[in-house]
Structures are given as C-alpha cells and as structure tokens.
C-alpha cells in the first residue's frame, strides 16, 4: 500500500466518515471553543507551576534529617487550590475521536515545528529545481536543525540518494513524499505495534511505572493517561511515589480528583517503596485494572536515583509477578537533545519500555522523536499535543510525519487524486 493510500485511510477512515468529514470538523471545532470557554487556563497554570516546584535538598548521609514541612499558610493555599479545581471541573463526556480529529491533533500539535522546519524545506525545494548534491547538503542541515539526530539524518540521506538514483529522479517535485516515506520506514524498521501498552488480561492488575526528571510534565501526563484508560472502562489507581519533591503529592491528588481516580499516598519524605507496597495492596483490594506509579525525578545524584528505582522495582515485582509491565519515561520535547541525555541516564537506571514525549506542541524541534527512537531503540508510545485532557495521543509514525509535512503533502495528495 502506498504512503498516500495509508495516509488517506488514517486521515479519513471508512467511506462513511469521509462523507461526513465537514460535519465532524464543524462539531469538533465547536466543542473545542466550548472547552476553551469552560476550562480556565488557570488550572493548567497551577499544575505547571507545581511541576516545576523546587526540590527539597536531601543528602545520603543525613537519612534521619527532618524533611521541611510546608507552613500552615502553604497548606491552606494548596487545599484552596484543590477545592477550587474540584468546583470548576465537571464530568467529562466521553466521545470516541474520529480518525480525522486524531490526525488534526498531530497537524496542530506539530505546527511550530512545521512552520520552522517544513517552510525551510519548501523554500529549499523552490530554490532547487534539480536534485543534486547541493540540495542534499542543505536538506541535511535543515534536518539537523530540527533535532532529528545525526545518525537518523545520515541514514535518511543515504536512503534518499539511493531512491533518487533508483527512480532516476531529476527534479524536486514530489521529493517531500519520498522524504516522508523514508522517515516512516526508519522509525518503524524491524518493529511492530510499538505504541501498544503491555496490558494484562481482564482480572489481573497492570502496573505502569512513570519515571522522568522534575518539570517535564510527568504528573500531568499521568493524569491524562489515567483519564484515557478510564475512558476505556478501566478502573485506575494512582500511587504518589514522588515523596521527595515539595507539592508533588498534592499535585497528583489534584489530578486524581480531576479524573476520578483514587490516589494512594503517604506523608512527604516517606519511603517511595512503602508507598508502592500500599498502592498495590489497595489496587488489589479494589479489583483495579491499572495502577500508575509516580516516582521522584532528581538527577543530581544518579546513584541515589538508581538505588531508589531499583528498590521500587523490587517491591513491585515481588507483589505482582512480572511487574512493572511498563516503565514509561516522560521527556520534555522542548529540551531537544537534552532529552536524549535524560533518556540515556534513566535507561541505565531502569528498564525503560517506552517514551512519553510531552509538550511536542510547544517546540520547533519536533524531530527529536526520530532521534530518540533511532539512537536509543526505545519506542515513543505517547506524545503530548496540547493542554487539554485528551491531547495525550498514542504515537503514530505516519500521522507524525504528516504533521511535519502537512502543507506540502496535502497539495501532493490532492494532485495525486486529480
């Protein structure tokens, strides 16, 4: 099946959907306006502010040192925030998204990258009527600027040169289609069903462990994933294992209240492994389907990080055989190549099974998705494409590439149908 055919099938879906695309777009546009009017941006600001809260300084040698406790005023403010959010939030009416709407999320979420990267590719194609070595060199520079990654760029350029020679391509018309096809091939090579979570059979508990540094949107992502799983009819319990960072427990509780999930927690400074033990017991007693575990995200002392994660992993696997079933690493897409460094560190500390790339809509360097996959051989399972509850989407290589080249591909797709 051609790239265009696969793309159209995913864009529109079945023929019935195709006939109703205009209606779907109008309905979803109206819903988006209504959501924006009823869901204050202040709520997300509160969550983001808590996510970036400063860590409490603790050293190995002072294990008995008291953890600073928030003042009465701070506690009162946090309680007020939770109460305010609980009042504002209303039950979310679930609606299965159309194939078109999902694709539009990728297109909209990658707008900054597309405006920065693809516009330059369009200019390059316009300037070079012929495909020659100068064209390849400039294209290579553009890909590197988008943080696609050196190894990925070199592999892509080799594939492009081979394809151009094989098909005897002389001009640059249609070159974006070839680039898109090769990028999808590079991402998907040798792998199948990359985005699927390792969910256990009905009646068994699935444990998902989240890791990642502070400030990347880890707790927010946990809340959005819990919302996604609940919308699929699953009972979800959250474990507040980040007992190190001030405000982390309260922040997870806010998200638990928002999505209607019970949060198992202890006091700040408690042993994270003890929290996991309590959470597993509670999840089993409540016949929960999924337990999502938050963890501390400090990197100042990698030894402490590794020891803590190993202990947490040991407790979880002892209580639930073969668990955790997923270890998801949250990375901030706006940090570009720094996200690769974080991924390598956590990969050394624990067996990361998948990446959740947050804030992809806020960066002009969306090519980092390809760099992560190609260099670390860890699949990107979810991407954050906005601030709304349903903007956490399973990663799809074809939709992602379409989001990068949407403007040019739309024209080529239309031409191919004429």
Of residues 47 and 62, the one with the higher pLDDT is 47
Structure token pair of residue 176? 């974006």
Q: How many residues does the chain have?
A: 418
- Give whichever of 139-148, 149-158, 272-281 has the largest mean pLDDT: 272-281
Asked if pLDDT for residue 370 goes beyond 50, the answer is: yes
Q: What is the mean pLDDT of residues 107-126?
A: 80
Dist CA 374 CA 377 (whole Å): 6
Cβ contacts of 255 within 8 Å, gap of 6 or more = 47, 219, 220, 222, 223, 226, 238, 261
Terminal Cα-to-Cα distance of the chain (whole angstroms)? 19
Question: Of 373, 300, 290, which Cα lies nearest the Cα of 331?
Answer: 373
Rounded to 5 degrees, φ, ψ at 291 are -115, 120
Of residues 190 and 372, the one with the higher pLDDT is 372
Contact 102, 393 (CB under 8 A): yes
Q: What is the mean pLDDT of residues 177-182?
A: 83
Percent of the chain whose predicted confidence (pLDDT) is above 90: 28
Of residues 3 and 132, the one with the higher pLDDT is 132
Contact 346, 372 (CB under 8 A): no
pLDDT digits (tens, 9 = 90+) for 221-254: 999 999 999 999 999 999 999 988 878 999 999 9
pLDDT, position 81: 47
pLDDT digits (tens, 9 = 90+) for 289-326: 999 999 987 655 567 777 888 899 999 999 999 999 99
Rounded to 5 degrees, φ, ψ at 146 are -85, 10
List the single range of 24-38, 108-122, 295-309, 374-388 with lowest mean pLDDT.
Answer: 24-38
pLDDT, position 299: 59
Dist CA 325 CA 206 (whole Å): 6
pLDDT digits (tens, 9 = 90+) for 55-76: 433 333 333 333 344 445 545 5
What does the mean pLDDT of the chain come to?
Answer: 77
Q: Where are the beta strands (DSSP E) in 166-265?
A: 206-211, 236-239, 262-264
Dist CA 406 CA 338 (whole Å): 27
Contact 112, 365 (CB under 8 A): no
Match 């249609």 to its residue by tokens: 174
Asked if pLDDT for residue 94 goes beyond 50, the answer is: no
Q: What is the mean pLDDT of residues 382-395?
A: 88
- What are residue 264's DSSP bridge partners? 239
Dist CA 41 CA 33 (whole Å): 13
């Amino acid at each position: 099946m051609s790239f265009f055919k696969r793309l159209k099938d995913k864009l529109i879906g079945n023929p019935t959907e195709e006939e109703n695309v205009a209606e779907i777009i109008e309905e979803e546009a109206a819903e988006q306006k209504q959501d924006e009017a009823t869901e204050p941006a202040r709520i997300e600001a509160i969550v983001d502010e808590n996510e970036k809260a400063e860590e409490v300084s603790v050293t190995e040698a002072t294990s008995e040192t008291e953890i600073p406790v928030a003042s009465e005023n701070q506690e009162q403010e946090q309680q007020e925030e939770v109460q305010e959010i609980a009042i504002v939030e209303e039950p979310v009416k679930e609606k299965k998204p159309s194939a078109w709407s999902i694709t539009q999320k990728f297109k909209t979420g990658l707008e900054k990258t597309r405006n920065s990267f693809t516009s330059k590719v369009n200019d390059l194609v316009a300037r070079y009527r012929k495909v020659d070595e100068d064209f390849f060199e400039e294209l290579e520079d553009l890909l590197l600027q988008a943080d696609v990654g050196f190894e990925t760029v070199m592999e892509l350029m080799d594939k492009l040169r081979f394809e151009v020679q094989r098909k005897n391509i002389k001009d640059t018309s249609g070159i974006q289609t070839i680039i898109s096809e090769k990028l999808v091939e590079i991402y998907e090579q040798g792998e199948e069903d990359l985005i699927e979570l390792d969910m256990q059979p009905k009646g068994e508990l699935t444990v998902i462990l989240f890791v990642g540094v502070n400030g990347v949107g880890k707790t927010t992502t946990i809340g959005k994933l819990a919302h996604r799983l609940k919308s699929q009819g699953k009972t979800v319990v959250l474990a507040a294992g980040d007992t190190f960072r001030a405000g982390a427990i309260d922040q997870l509780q806010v998200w638990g209240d928002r999505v209607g999930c019970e949060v198992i927690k202890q006091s700040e400074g408690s042993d994270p492994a003890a929290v996991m033990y309590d959470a597993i017991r509670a999840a089993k007693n409540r016949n929960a389907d999924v337990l999502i575990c938050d963890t501390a995200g400090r990197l100042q002392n990698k030894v402490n990080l590794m020891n803590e994660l190993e202990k947490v992993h040991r407790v979880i696997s002892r209580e639930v055989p073969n668990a955790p079933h997923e270890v998801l690493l949250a990375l901030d897409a706006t940090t570009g190549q720094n996200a690769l460094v974080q991924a390598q560190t956590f990969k050394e500390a624990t067996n990361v099974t998948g990446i959740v790339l947050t804030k992809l809509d806020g960066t002009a360097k969306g090519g980092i998705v390809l760099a992560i996959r190609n260099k670390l051989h860890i699949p990107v399972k979810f991407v954050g494409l906005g601030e709304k509850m349903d903007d956490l989407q399973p990663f799809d290589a074809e939709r992602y590439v379409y989001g990068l080249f949407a403007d040019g591909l739309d024209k080529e797709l239309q031409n191919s149908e004429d």
